[in-house]
Structure 1
């Protein structure tokens, strides 16, 4: 019986860790207001920056004047947050790994954008930016209020106002 209990426990530990990560990526944690684990936060934040930067580079090529102005600021600001997060990780104060690419959903959105131009591009890019910034504001607020790494928690709190400003800018971009 002890062997069976030990074996079950060994299978449940990785399953619980996976469930926590899956809950973050599916939005269950957000719905329940549960803060992300440090590794999940770093991964989600870094994927968000990658998507923001890469989709905004497309916007510089395909967008109207208002979209291009917004995209320039997104590139500058998200390169800054990427550098700040990298510095935290490199300092050893945060034990996690940044993502090296976009999520599958972000890749799908990015691929869709690559095939668009003109007004269609602007509309989809603007919608993507609103969605991405709503998610980022939620993620950063949850970590800032209840995250488990004090340095990362402070950085998340410091970054929230800029993300809220980006969200407002994305909302205002519609119709321009």
Structure 2
């Protein structure tokens, strides 16, 4: 009987540990989104906070990948593009962070699981392979970002977040044009 009690107790402890591990498995995007849903539930800011979270994650990604380009790229044009991403997106990230703080929006402080996996994948690439794949990613990513920022600028409810999005569209369009130029030169 003591053995059975011990086995049942141990099984319960393992299950509790497994549940605790799964509950702590939220990535940074999920965590920020959940905090915003609680804090901003049923307010006009709820949808705008989703944009802010996604924009922050995108900005973090651009900076991290830009830093990676400085070390893993072989083309000077790709390295220069990466440096531009670090400079421009660091500035935009700081602006968004200040705006979010003013609006009580929680932003992620690290890449979410999907972006971290992609970063880890790219960290293994070097030279021409990195150059080609990074620039393809930057073209695709900036096309998506432009759509998201235009959507926020037109349909957002918060005037400050709408203005932030509208103000960043020309910068994102410039990044897209530069990314396309560098990508085409790599062929």
What secondary structure, in the 3-state scheme, does the structure 2 residue paired with 1:100 have?
coil
Higher-RCO chain (CA-CA 8 Å, sequence separation at least 6): 1
Gaps of 5+ in 1: 1-17, 22-35
Alpha-carbon distance, 1:105 to partner: 2.7
Superposition RMSD in Å: 1.7
Is 1:129 matched up with 2:129?
no
Which residue among 39, 42, 55 is the counterpart of 2:52?
Answer: 42
TM superposition score normalised by structure 1: 0.75
Which residue among 91, 94, 97 is the counterpart of 1:80?
Answer: 91
Q: Answer with 1 or 2: which has the greater Rg.
A: 2
Which residue among 164, 167, 172 is the counterpart of 2:176?
Answer: 167
2:107 maps to 98
Is 1:54 matched up with 2:64?
yes
Q: Would you say the 8 A contact 2:59–2:90 is kept in 1?
A: yes
Provide the aligned length of Structure 1 versus Structure 2. Answer: 141
Separation (CA, whole Å) in 2 of partners of 1:158 and 1:81: 10
Separation (CA, whole Å) in 1 of partners of 2:92 and 2:151: 17
1:32 maps to none
Gaps of 5+ in 2: 1-29, 34-45
Q: Following superposition, which runs of at least 4 residues in structure 1 exceed 3 angstroms of deviation?
A: none
Q: Would you say the 8 A contact 1:57–1:75 is kept in 2?
A: yes
TM superposition score normalised by structure 2: 0.71
Which residue among 158, 164, 171 is the counterpart of 1:155?
Answer: 164
Q: Would you say the 8 A contact 1:49–1:79 is kept in 2?
A: yes
